[in-house]
């Protein structure tokens, strides 16, 4: 069995540490990838620390990472769309059943038999899938994406989750010119939401708990920035938003944002705090407001997003780290201290 160096957590309270994992030999439909960069998503941290135990309990050891950019090293005999040397990406999904209504609609993320890149049952090797905090990965060709060659690769990696997770709901709810759009939380997802909403032509307002991020929010594309603890600033925006995208990773008051929607306005949750959030019905019925959620995006839409980023020169703003600093990066994520995505340079693991 081929082995690969990786970083894994042995339990919810253990730091990530170097290990070796099995990677399957490529089947005829597989693509073997040398991982160059892997983004650090807050979902990695939620999973490593088993914060989503009630919905998706973590199986240990856990190798997280689902914002993968790499180079193809080999392909199976039946693979048509990729060849050795190609730059490719892998996001949160590595398999699905290809036969359910969700798959038929190109929304594999909702397939009841979908396989996530990590912490999902692995039908090839048993146990669970291992993600991108590793020097290599083997993935079915249908879940391997083409990466535009004109972009900085460290900044491309986060597009595979933070990018598609914000692009998809903004597209689904047809955000564009003439609309006022709010983005709550300026982290990995939030800063991509700002870039896309701006690129789609909306008037963009960022809500942040971090006054120090104001200037960055404007540089990233926001027209206005509101510090959410300032009641007066919040009040000025009452009943004015067409759409709000909530990317916050921890418990917070969603009613404060629902009140900012105009008549028939819509708010979508992409952030996934570990505890339920109380919703006051009154913040919905006054104004016929809607509240929904959105999960990453399908493979076809992820490719569309990557192509859009290639054409429009969009990447994540990253702080590149060696994998040996991953535990410190998690602590900084918890302090909202990331500008605006950590991207692991996987050469640090290869050379370790
Ligand atoms: P992140 O980089 O840590 O950003 C989260 C941001 O939320 C922080 O930068 C901070 O922004 C704000 N925040 C943090 N704690 C807060 C609190 N207590 N109250 C109010 N605001 C707070 O995380 P991320 O990687 O963007 O992920 C965000 C969430 O989305 C996570 O829960 C993650 O699991 C989830 N996620 C969901 C999907 C999906 O498909 N739905 C996909 C990927 C990730 P400010 O400093 O600006 O306030
Ligand atoms: Zn993610």
The rounded distance, in Å, linking the Cα atoms of 340 and 71 is 24
pTM of the entire structure?
Answer: 0.98
Tokens, residue 232: 């007066």
Tally of CB atoms within 10 A around 223: 16
- Which residue is listed with tokens 């069995």? 1
The rounded distance, in Å, linking the Cα atoms of 209 and 51 is 22
The residues lining ligand 1, judged by C-beta closer than 6 Å to any ligand atom, are: 41-43, 46, 161-162, 165, 185-190, 208-210, 213, 247-250, 252, 270-272, 294-296, 333, 336, 338
Q: How far apart are the first and last CA of the chain?
A: 21
Q: How confident is the model at residue 282 (pLDDT cuts 50, 70, 90)?
A: very high
Do the Cβ atoms of 117 and 144 come closer than 8 Å?
no
Asked if pLDDT for residue 2 goes beyond 90, the answer is no
Q: Which residues contact 67 (CB under 8 A, 6 or more apart)?
A: 38, 39, 40, 41, 91, 132, 157, 158, 159, 160, 161, 162, 341, 343
Q: Which residues of 98-116 are buried (b: 16+ CB within 10 A; e: fewer)?
A: eebebbeeebbbebebbbb
Ligand 1, atom 17, residue with closest C-alpha: 250
Q: In CATH terms, is domain 162-293 a member of 3.40.50.720?
A: yes
Residue 239 Cα to ligand 1 middle (Å): 24
Instruction: Look over the chain and give the mean of its residue pLDDT values, rounded to a whole number.
Output: 98
pLDDT digits (tens, 9 = 90+) for 30-57: 999 999 999 999 999 999 999 999 999 9
Comparing C-alpha atoms, which of 39, 24, 21 is closest to residue 91? 39
Q: What is the predicted pLDDT for the residue at 35?
A: 98
Q: How confident is the model at residue 197 (pLDDT cuts 50, 70, 90)?
A: very high
Residue 236 Cα to ligand 2 middle (Å): 33
Comparing C-alpha atoms, which of 339, 299, 301 is closest to residue 319? 339
The rounded distance, in Å, linking the Cα atoms of 27 and 76 is 6
pLDDT digits (tens, 9 = 90+) for 159-181: 999 999 999 999 999 999 999 99
Residue 233 Cα to ligand 2 middle (Å): 31
pLDDT digits (tens, 9 = 90+) for 241-273: 999 999 999 999 999 999 999 999 999 999 999
Question: Quick one: which atom of ligand 1 is closest to the CA of 269?
Answer: 41
Q: What is the predicted pLDDT for the residue at 198?
A: 98
User: Which H/E stretch holds residue 226?
Assistant: strand 224-227
User: Which H/E stretch holds residue 345?
Assistant: strand 341-345
Q: State the Rg of the chain over Cα.
A: 20
Q: How confident is the model at residue 119 (pLDDT cuts 50, 70, 90)?
A: very high
Ligand 1 probe mutation, 248, 321, 335, most atoms within 8 A of CB = 248
pLDDT > 70 in the chain, percent: 100
**Would you list the domain boundaries of the chain?**
3-161+298-350, 162-293
Q: What is the predicted pLDDT for the residue at 163?
A: 99
Asked if pLDDT for residue 1 goes beyond 90, the answer is no
Q: In CATH terms, is domain 3-161+298-350 a member of 3.60.21.10?
A: no
Pairwise pLDDT comparison (66 vs 2), residue with the higher score: 66
């Amino acid at each position: 069995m081929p082995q690969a160096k990786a970083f894994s957590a042995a339990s919810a309270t253990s730091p990530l540490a170097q290990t070796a994992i099995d990677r399957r030999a490529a089947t005829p439909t597989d693509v073997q990838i040398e991982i160059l960069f892997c983004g650090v998503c807050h979902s990695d941290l939620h999973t490593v620390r088993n914060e989503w135990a009630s919905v998706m309990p973590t199986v240990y050891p856990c190798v997280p990472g689902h914002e993968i950019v790499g180079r193809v090293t080999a392909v199976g005999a039946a693979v048509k769309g990729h060849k050795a040397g190609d730059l490719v990406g892998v996001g949160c999904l590595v398999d699905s059943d290809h036969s359910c209504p969700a798959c038929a609609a190109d929304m594999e993320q909702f397939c009841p038999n979908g396989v996530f890149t990590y912490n999902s049952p692995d039908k090839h090797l048993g146990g669970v899938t291992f993600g991108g905090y590793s020097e290599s990965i083997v993935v079915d060709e249908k879940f391997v994406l083409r990466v535009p060659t004109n972009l900085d690769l460290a900044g491309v990696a986060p597009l595979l989750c933070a990018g598609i997770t914000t692009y998809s709901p903004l597209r689904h709810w047809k955000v564009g010119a003439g609309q006022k759009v709010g983005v709550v939380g300026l982290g990995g997802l939030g800063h991509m939401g700002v870039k896309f909403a701006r690129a789609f032509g909306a008037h963009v307002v960022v809500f942040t708990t971090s006054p120090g991020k104001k200037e960055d929010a404007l540089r990233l594309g926001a027209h206005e920035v509101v510090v959410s603890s300032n009641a007066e600033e919040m009040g000025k925006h009452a009943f004015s938003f067409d759409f709000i995208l909530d990317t916050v990773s921890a418990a917070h008051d969603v009613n404060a944002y629902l009140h900012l929607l105009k008549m028939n306005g819509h708010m979508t949750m992409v952030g996934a705090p570990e505890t339920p959030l109380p919703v006051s019905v009154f913040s919905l019925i006054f104004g016929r407001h809607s509240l929904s959620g959105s999960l990453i995006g399908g493979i076809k839409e992820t490719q569309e997003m990557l192509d859009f980023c290639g054409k429009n020169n969009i990447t994540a703003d990253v702080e590149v780290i060696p994998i040996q600093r991953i535990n410190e990066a998690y602590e900084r994520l918890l302090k909202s201290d990331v500008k605006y995505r950590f991207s692991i340079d996987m050469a640090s693991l290869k050379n370790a």
